[in-house]
């Protein structure tokens, strides 16, 4: 049996389903008030807890913990919660995994890697350093990643994956990126900025984690054991993103206009809790112009990520089906 934290999130619900499809027994940890809509009719064992609490009772017969649970925030509004869940929660998971001698698969983020020169190729050799990244989320993931690697040196086994931006269907909680492409599709957002970032389809990410775990449990486990793996997809040029979503007429803001808009967006988010598309952190990330290497992952298992166009198409198809079932407010045609 495996245990998955963050199981109702975007990656979580897809990963749960992938393991169930393969005949794996799955137990999930969710918070008492969490919504199980994304796992409706999926045969899983549910254990209610917080990753910061003692959930040792949930570890009976568990061979591996897949620790996905984290708080993602691109504004300072959730700073305390980000550090508490992402660091303290991970430390707690490590402690329990050590006590029970359970494998640990940790989902970190490429944002945990130290920021190097713009336009660089980012590989698994780049150091993880909270002092060389910007933003509370990035810092929290860097600190947590170092805690996992420290535990690996002390005898715990498993591996760490570093996804780029996650997108695609089954995003029941509507991530920042999903909200952006919905607005483009509806014509509710008619401007964009220059910059790019790598995004990976959630299904490709989940499949890669499943395959890496399969290798970890095989005679070739040394290829995966205690290793880092970047899981990337393709670059998305934000100047072209509205067009990919079907919007033909829109404005590309110059850097100065983008900077002004980002500051105003952040203020609106802080003061009025208005969801914002292009806050300063988002612009900073898009302008780094990094390329995230697939070399290590591709040399470990067969890997061909889906095309961006296919992922966006599948996202809107899934959203339409969800709309029909729930009569939601989005009307994507």
* Per-residue pLDDT at 331 exceeds 60: no
Smallest CA-to-CA distance from 228 within 141, 144, 137, 145 is with 145
Per-residue model confidence as pLDDT tens digits over 112-166: 999 999 999 999 999 999 999 999 999 999 999 999 999 999 999 999 999 999 9
Number of domains in the chain: 1
Range of the domain at 132: 2-173+198-233
Any domain includes 285: no
When pLDDT is averaged across residues 3-7 and rounded to a whole number, the result is: 98
Per-residue model confidence as pLDDT tens digits over 8-19: 999 999 999 999
Per-residue model confidence as pLDDT tens digits over 162-220: 999 999 999 999 999 999 999 999 999 999 999 999 999 999 999 999 999 999 999 99
Q: Are 315 and 309 a contacting pair, CB within 8 Å?
A: no
List helix spans (H) across the chain.
Answer: 10-21, 79-83, 90-100, 136-153, 176-186, 202-216, 241-244, 255-272, 280-287, 295-300, 308-326
Any domain includes 76: yes
* Per-residue pLDDT at 265 exceeds 90: no
Any domain includes 228: yes
Question: What per-residue confidence (pLDDT) applies to 278?
Answer: 84
Any domain includes 292: no
- Alpha carbons 249 and 328: distance in angstroms, whole number: 26
Smallest CA-to-CA distance from 179 within 264, 112, 274, 287 is with 274
Any domain includes 134: yes
Any domain includes 169: yes
Going by their DSSP bridges, the two strands 251-253 and 191-193 should be labelled as parallel
Backbone angles phi, psi at 226, to 5 degrees: 60, 25
Q: How far is CA 163 from CA 63, 109, 232, in A?
A: 23, 5, 6
Any domain includes 77: yes
């Amino acid at each position: 049996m495996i245990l998955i934290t963050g199981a109702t999130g975007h990656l979580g619900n897809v990963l749960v389903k992938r393991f169930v499809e393969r005949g794996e027994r799955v137990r999930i940890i969710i918070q008492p008030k969490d919504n199980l809509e994304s796992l409706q009719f999926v045969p899983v064992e549910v254990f209610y807890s917080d990753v910061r609490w003692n959930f040792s009772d949930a570890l009976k017969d568990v061979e591996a913990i897949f620790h996905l649970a984290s708080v993602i925030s691109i504004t300072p509004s959730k700073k305390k919660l980000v550090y508490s869940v992402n660091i303290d929660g991970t430390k707690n998971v490590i402690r329990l995994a050590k006590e029970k001698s359970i494998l640990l698969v940790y989902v970190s983020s490429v944002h945990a890697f130290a920021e190097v020169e713009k336009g660089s190729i980012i590989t698994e050799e780049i150091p993880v350093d909270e002092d060389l990244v910007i933003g509370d989320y990035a810092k929290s993931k860097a600190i947590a990643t170092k805690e996992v690697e420290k535990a690996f040196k002390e005898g715990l086994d498993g591996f760490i994956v570093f996804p780029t931006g996650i997108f695609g269907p089954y995003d029941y909680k509507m991530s920042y990126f999903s909200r952006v492409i919905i607005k483009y599709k509806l014509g509710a957002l008619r401007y964009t900025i220059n910059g790019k970032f790598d995004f990976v389809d959630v299904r490709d990410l989940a499949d890669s984690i499943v395959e890496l775990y399969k290798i970890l449990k095989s005679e070739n486990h040394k290829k995966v054991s205690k290793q880092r793996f970047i899981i990337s997809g393709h670059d998305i040029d934000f100047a072209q993103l509205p067009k990919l979503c079907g919007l033909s007429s829109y404005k590309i803001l110059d850097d100065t206009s983008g900077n002004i808009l980002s500051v105003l967006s952040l203020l609106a988010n802080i003061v009025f809790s208005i969801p914002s598309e292009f806050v300063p952190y988002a612009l900073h990330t898009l302008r780094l112009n990094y390329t995230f290497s697939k070399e290590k992952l591709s040399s470990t298992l067969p890997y061909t990520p889906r095309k961006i166009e296919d992922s966006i198409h599948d996202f809107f198809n899934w959203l339409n089906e969800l709309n029909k079932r729930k009569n939601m407010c989005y009307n994507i045609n």
